[in-house]
Structure 1
Amino acid sequence: MTTPLRIAVLGASGYTGADLVRLALTHPGIEIAALGANSKAGQTMAAIWPHFTPYKLPTLTTAEAIDYAAIDVVFGCLPHAASATLLATIPDTTIIDLSADFRLKSADSYAEWYNTPHPAPHLLETAVYGLSEFAADTLPGAHLIACPGCYPTAVLLALTPLLDAGEIAPERITVNALSGVSGAGRSLKEANLFPEVAEAVHPYGLGHHRHMPEIEQQLALAAGEPVTISFTPHLVPMNRGELVTCIVELAPGRSLASARAALADRYADTPFVHLLPDGLAPATRMVRGSNHCVVNIFADRIPGRVIVVAAIDNLVKGSSGQAIQNMNLALGLPETIGLEAAPLFP
């Protein structure tokens, strides 16, 4: 690759921004040209992220000070609303947004779930939803790519092939989800202090989590009809990792074997999503630090039901890794480039 892509990472002082920089450092087709972090402007990355001490990186600056005319790809790792407000002003650049701002197609739904009017509703229809394994046809040439949330990524990878193939019923889908504390961001929050989360697990967002409409929107596209799910996330005392357990009902005439075959067929040639051997349960340790997802399906003790389990790293496949995967697909690069690292274990 003779001319590397010049990228800007906005929100480089947060977990997703830092992980995106980590992955970009190993991507041979990328030059990290600008790093935005308004509250840390003027500081070096090493000052706030000591693990970047060996690397020469741009000094952090305000997002407004970046010359976007010299940037090929902008990664937005900003909070919702702030992301759309800024990104809507950047023309003629590939934009990959890791916030929630362009995931929902309905501005009304966004306002309902995020408690604020959408800052750029005119862009919602043109934004490509970047669940990489299901967006290969829509990503090439896209100007604005909305990266899925971490929970939606895991749930959709587990269930979309089954709904596409008519293997499961779209009603009565129950999802129990577990996430590491990094999913809550780096800002100081009492509930995320070590004494609050260590040696404990607790549910949150009971009955009303912001990822629910995103999951339902995408599952409905696969099912060809509206889908309503029961979704309960839990915070677990680990830094990174995510696991979802989905309890679903088989469609009439379908079986565990046919559902497993549908998953096997769909992911047979994908580099990052893997159906595990029969009987082996996915675990976050299988994917930690990597862009991989592991999935498996099991019989429930209740006839006609199956349990689908998926595990990802919430900061990589659930965020920054998928963002780079989307960039690769959008710009005609090999899908796996920059993402080849094996999971960390132990």
Structure 2
Amino acid sequence: PEGDHVFRVGFIDDPFVKDLIDKEAYNNKKNKWLESILFIGPFPEKTERPSRKKLLACDPKSGDACIESILSNLARRAYRRPVTKDEVAKLTRFVGIAKQEGLSIEQGLQLAIQAVLVSPHYLFRVERDSDPSEPRQVTDLELASRLSYFLWSSMPDEELLQLAESSKLRPALDGQIQRMLADPKASAFAENFAGQWLEIRNLDSVKPDPVKFPAWNADLRDAMKTETRLFFQAMLTGNRPMAEFIDAKFTFLNETLAKHYGIDGITGTEFRRVELSNPQRGGSPCRDCGRASRPAWAAGPRRSRGPQCVRRR
């Protein structure tokens, strides 16, 4: 069907692959290799997509009022602020131009949406200063964008935007922060912040010697990154003390990572919280290093001023 999909292909329970010795696993003359994959599609969906239904809140064929409403709501969300009548009028002109060219109303809306998506008001978070030489307090709308992109890496949602538009965001700021951290979109903060601070993004460029480290593969690399992100997110949303960041008694594992750590009883690809009985496996500011069971390359390249791992003995 239409949409984004992730595919992984491998030889599952293949006797030949199972019996192959480790040093020949990456030998393309002795091991099996996948030559190509053929995908057929995408197949159109029979039901209307929720995103389309949300965008077209009314039937654009019903008249100009509906078209203006659609574009006004879209531009307001995209620009993260109320839009002016002049801005909406400029967008509706694209629909008129499309109709003059013999195109449909929906094709005209597509042109208007393209104009919104290339607008500087969408691409940049603009904060206008009447006097750049004088410091000022950011407006509620500017604060909403700062907060949203910091915690969600995305634009403000309707609740945050409404509070900002009515200048009621600051009194409700603490509650909004707690709400946003509890939202699944806060995983973007854990991924981006931890990815930079703990340098787990460097794992993408790590290519260890397959002879010395035959267990290393894309699944193990991704599992290490996911463990770190989930651990960081649990510490953040649970408001845990910093000391627990260094010596936590839990982590997040799937079967791949559990086998790598020598922990039994974990099956499947799904990550779950696991309480640790071995004190040497306590939390660390760098989850991919500092453990005797993990190879040194798992930490990735390190800058001189980067975070230092706590090595557990």
Is TM (by shorter chain) over 0.5? Answer: no
Structure showing the higher helix proportion among its residues: 2
More strand by share: 1
Structure ID, larger Rg:
2
